[in-house]
Amino acid sequence: MKNRSGKQVRERYINKLDPLINKESFSESEDKKIIQLYHSIGPRWSEISKFLNGRPENMVKNRFYSHIKKHYDIEKNELKPGSKKMKKRLLDKRKTELVKRKNDKMHGPFKKKKTKREISKKKFLQAQ
């Protein structure tokens, strides 16, 4: 190839063109595995990529520095409190709790308050 060295061609094939590369988005389990391996062996991306099938070392390194460090608390191996993922997870959790409460017979604090009209109608019907 013109204008590219053999090393550049090899790197491009390994990181982009290889048909065995898994080009789907990373799963949460893969992120956690990267964090775990980062703690145990450090930033040895080629070693870490061996544990993730179809993920080249450059892709793993980019995932770590661009996403994981921003959204996960590396020390505790959990989502950071202010991250978008954590906010989304909390919203989803709240929505499911609300749906569960709505489906219950007893609504608890979310019980619909009766309007003045409904109260007066009920009193009128009881009086008759």
Residue 34: the pLDDT is: 92
Q: What confidence tier does 56 reach under pLDDT thresholds 50, 70, 90?
A: very high
User: How far is the first Cα of the chain from the last one, in angstroms, to the nearest whole number?
Assistant: 96
Q: Is the pLDDT of residue 97 over 80?
A: no
Rounded to whole angstroms, the Cα distance separating 111 from 115 reads 12
Q: What pLDDT is recorded for position 109? A: 56
Residue 34 sits in a domain whose CATH number is 1.10.10.60
Range of the domain at 95: 81-128
57-88 pLDDT, tens digit each = 999 999 999 888 777 776 665 666 566 666 67
Residues 96 and 76 in one domain: no
Can you give the pTM of this predicted structure?
Answer: 0.57
Residue that is written with structure tokens 């609504």 in the block: 107
Verify that 56 and 93 share a domain, yes or no.
no
Report phi then psi at 73, rounded to 5. -85, 105
